[in-house]
């Protein structure tokens, strides 16, 4: 089953992904940007999977979708921790 | 529990963890300027967590539309985050770049400026160092058009604006040194270097330049110029020849140098100094001697001979000193003094001195011979005078005892009894006097011929012995002689003894009979000289006689038979031969002080 909001989210997500790759040379100067980029890619993967689950393997792909969200959140948490957590304690 | 719920729980926990970290590190993150990024991520976390919470709490059915909408725009939050990051990075890099440039521009000792292309050179930007340089704050430069022109030195305005205009027309760099009037009215010398900045099409946009304070340099240049002028005036006006040589090649000479050598400045400059020497040997000797002295003492002085352009040989005294002691090749300054006249005068002086010595020697031998020969004749006169006196006595006795007294004329009688004895007495007295004079002259003659045996003399012992030997005269004069401890001196003991014998004898001879005689002998040592004084309370010497008493045969009262006027003359002669001095201080009726100064070392 296809939901319009999921298609919209996927289209926007792919647009942002393209934007990220186009500006990668600028963005990579941000410390540990690879972690953040990986987190975002995980989220995009989740959005793709949530669209695909409407066509086939619903349960399996739903499982993978939430796995991607969890992994993306963990990568994001690590990036946050490395960027501000330790530095905050050092201050 | 459904496995998907576990992953969502993990997701939810990670989002909460991010939230906590963000809140804890927000202060720092806010200060570092990433607040947009943080706000974006924070909103994303909150919203997505909120959506999950809605889904699992069962409320989603009632707020399904809201959850779908929030979920759909989630990528936009990420887009917002990435865009914010890029902007933040660009902003931070620009700020850092500006800070670097500003630091560079404003920390250098130079003033940097941007000026418009108008005729007044109005400033569009000027770095803060200008306030330290001229006292005016940067805003005053920027707000008043023509501020720069208005503060140029009045004498420089026209020249500077002309040069600025010319450089703009020729598209060349504007480089100009001028004076500006500072806020406190003092004059500051400025060096201005500016170029026109153009766009890609070549259109001039503005002038960009630097100013630096060259007041100290200008003062140094002025000081150097004055110093140079002084040296040049000395160089031109010096009464001696002055020149500069490098590797013995003449680089520069003054007018006096040309006058001494007979060559013109053009003829000398650039030529080897060899042209001035009569022989190669003389040229090499001067080089060797002079440069040896320079390397030893820093300066060199050599007497040599030069050959003038007209062939005349002249004597010169050369004094040289290097411009740079460590490197003689840079140049050596020398002075040349024409000493030909002095050399000739010295030769004449040496000849006259030799002649004078010969004459003196001759005179001394004549004096000795005359004194000696006259004395031997005088002995004859004296002897025969006594013989005539005795004969007169015999004749007078014979006349007195004979019967011829009545037959001898009265005049003959008077002659033998009175006139002839009186004449003979005068003759004999004169011969005694002349004998004493000749003895004195012989003494002086011997004194000149005698060698001086210089030794350290114990003056206490010498003066003590002298006083002892004159004890009889001291007692006869009823005088009291006090002798203090005296410093020793260098001299010939026998001759110095004569000095003190004469001075003590004179003091005794001229004591005042109206009061008890007192003679005080004392001395001290100062400045390498031993000074002695023989002081008496005698009759004293009038001021008009004081300078003459050391002259030969000079007597205060020639009618008094108190000597021949030779004693003080001999004393003076002896002291002079010892490189000493003698002088007198005296007051009539109070006494005299005779001072003798002799070398103590």
**B567 shares a domain with B484:** yes
Predicted local distance difference test score (pLDDT) of residue B415: 79
**B412 shares a domain with B373:** yes
Identify the band that residue B412 occupies on the pLDDT scale cut at 50, 70 and 90: confident
Partner residue opposite A77 with nearest CB, options B4, B14, B85: B14
C-alpha distance from residue B538 to each of B436, B501, B542 (Å): 25, 17, 12
**B230 belongs to a structural domain:** no
**B231 belongs to a structural domain:** no
**B563 shares a domain with B475:** yes
Q: Which residues of B touch A63 (CB under 8 A)?
A: 3-4, 7
**B406 shares a domain with B333:** no
**B63 belongs to a structural domain:** yes
Question: Does residue B191 register a pLDDT over 60?
Answer: yes
**B356 shares a domain with B264:** no
DSSP per residue, B396-418: HHHHHHSGGGGTS-HHHHHIIII
B31: distance to nearest CA of chain A, Å? 12
Question: Does residue B33 register a pLDDT over 60?
Answer: no
**B546 shares a domain with B465:** yes
At which of B282, B312, B338 does a domain end? B338
- Residue burial B236-264, b: 16+ Cβ < 10 Å; e: rest: eeeebbbbbbeeeebebbbebbbebbebe
Task: Provide the number of structural domains found in chain B.
Answer: 5
- E strands, B41-164, are 111-115, 123-126
Residue B432: both structure tokens together: 């005694």
**B227 belongs to a structural domain:** no
Asked if this assembly's ipTM is beyond 0.95, the reply is no
**B416 shares a domain with B328:** no
**B165 shares a domain with B92:** no
To probe the interface with A, which of B16, B19, B25, B48 has the most A CB atoms within 10 Å? Answer: B25
* Section A5-23 average pLDDT: 87
Binding-face residues of B in 197-226 toward A, CB within 8 A: none
CATH number, residue B203: 3.30.450.20
At which of B78, B103, B128 does a domain end? B103
**B196 shares a domain with B163:** yes
To probe the interface with A, which of B51, B82, B92 has the most A CB atoms within 10 Å? Answer: B82
To probe the interface with A, which of B6, B9, B11 has the most A CB atoms within 10 Å? Answer: B11
**pLDDT, tens digit (0-9, with 9 covering 90-100), for B289-311:** 888 888 888 888 999 999 999 99
**B124 shares a domain with B52:** no
Lowest mean per-residue pLDDT among B55-69, B183-197, B454-468: B55-69
How many CB pairs below 8 A link A and B? 109
Tokens 């006249």 correspond to B341
pTM value?
Answer: 0.43
Name the strands in the sheet holding B529-536, side by side, starting at the edge strand that comes first in the sequence: B479-483, B517-526, B529-536, B591-599, B581-587
**B577 shares a domain with B473:** yes
**pLDDT, tens digit (0-9, with 9 covering 90-100), for B102-140:** 888 878 888 999 998 888 888 888 988 899 899 998 888
What is the span of the domain harbouring residue B249? Answer: 238-338
């Amino acid at each position: 089953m296809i939901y319009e909001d999921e298609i919209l989210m996927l289209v926007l997500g792919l647009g942002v992904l393209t934007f990220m790759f186009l500006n990668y040379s600028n963005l990579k100067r941000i410390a540990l940007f690879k972690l953040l980029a990986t987190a975002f890619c995980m989220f995009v993967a989740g959005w793709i999977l949530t669209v695909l689950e409407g066509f086939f393997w619903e349960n399996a792909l739903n499982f993978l979708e939430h796995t991607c969200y969890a992994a993306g959140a963990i990568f994001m948490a690590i990036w946050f921790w490395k960027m501000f957590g330790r530095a905050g304690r050092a201050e | 529990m459904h496995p998907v719920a576990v992953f969502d729980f993990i997701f939810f926990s990670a989002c909460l963890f991010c939230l906590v970290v963000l809140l804890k590190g927000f202060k720092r993150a806010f200060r570092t300027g990433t607040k947009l990024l943080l706000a974006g991520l924070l909103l994303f976390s909150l919203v997505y967590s909120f959506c999950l919470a809605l889904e699992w709490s069962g409320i989603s059915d009632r707020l399904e539309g809201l959850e779908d909408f929030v979920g759909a725009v989630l990528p936009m939050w990420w887009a917002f985050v990435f865009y914010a990051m890029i902007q933040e990075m660009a902003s931070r890099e620009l700020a850092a770049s500006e800070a670097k440039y500003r630091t560079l521009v404003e920390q250098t000792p130079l003033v940097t400026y941007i000026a418009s292309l108008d005729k007044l050179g109005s400033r569009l930007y000027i770095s803060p160092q200008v306030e330290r340089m001229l006292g005016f704050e940067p805003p005053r430069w920027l707000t008043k058009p023509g501020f720069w022109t208005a503060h140029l030195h009045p004498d420089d305005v026209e020249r500077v604006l002309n040069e600025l205009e010319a450089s703009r027309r020729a598209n060349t760099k504007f480089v100009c040194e001028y004076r500006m009037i500072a806020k406190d009215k003092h004059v500051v010398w400025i060096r201005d270097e500016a170029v026109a900045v153009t766009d890609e099409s070549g259109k001039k946009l503005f002038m960009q330049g630097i100013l630096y304070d060259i007041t100290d340099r200008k003062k140094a240049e002025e000081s150097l110029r004055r110093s140079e002028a002084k040296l040049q005036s000395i160089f031109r006006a010096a009464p001696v020849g002055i020149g500069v040589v490098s590797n013995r090649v003449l680089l520069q000479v003054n007018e006096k140098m040309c006058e001494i050598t007979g060559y013109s400045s053009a003829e000398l400059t650039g030529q080897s100094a060899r042209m001035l020497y009569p022989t190669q040997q003389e040229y090499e000797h001067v080089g060797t001697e002079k440069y040896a002295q320079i390397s030893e003492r820093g300066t060199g002085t050599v007497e040599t001979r030069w050959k003038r352009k007209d062939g005349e040989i002249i004597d010169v005294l050369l004094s040289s000193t290097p411009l740079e002691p460590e490197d003689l090749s840079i140049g050596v300054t020398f002075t040349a003094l024409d000493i030909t006249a002095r050399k000739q005068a010295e030769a004449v002086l040496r000849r006259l001195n030799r002649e004078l010595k010969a004459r003196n020697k001759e005179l001394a031998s004549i004096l000795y011979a005359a004194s000696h020969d006259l004395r031997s004749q005088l002995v004859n006169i004296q002897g025969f005078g006594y013989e005539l006196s005795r004969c007169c006595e015999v004749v007078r006795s014979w006349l007195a005892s004979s019967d011829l007294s009545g037959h001898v004329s009265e005049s003959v009688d008077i002659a033998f009894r009175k006139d002839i004895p009186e004449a003979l007495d005068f003759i004999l007295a004169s011969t005694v006097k002349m004998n004493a004079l000749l003895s004195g002259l012989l003494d002086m003659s011997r004194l000149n011929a005698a060698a001086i045996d210089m030794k350290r003399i114990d003056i206490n012992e010498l003066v003590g012995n002298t006083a002892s030997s004159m004890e009889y005269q001291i007692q006869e004069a009823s005088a009291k002689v006090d002798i203090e401890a005296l410093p020793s001196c260098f001299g010939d003991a026998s001759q110095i003894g004569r000095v003190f014998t004469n001075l003590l004898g004179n003091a005794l001879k001229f004591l005042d009979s109206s009061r008890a005689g007192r003679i005080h002998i004392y001395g001290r040592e100062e400045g390498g000289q031993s000074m002695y004084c023989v002081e008496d309370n005698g009759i004293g010497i009038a001021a008009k006689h004081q300078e003459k008493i050391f002259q030969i045969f000079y007597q205060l009262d020639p009618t008094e038979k108190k000597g021949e006027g030779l004693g003080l003359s001999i004393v003076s002669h002896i002291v002079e031969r010892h490189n000493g001095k003698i002088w007198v201080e005296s007051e009539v009726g109070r006494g005299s002080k005779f001072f003798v100064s002799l070398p103590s070392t």
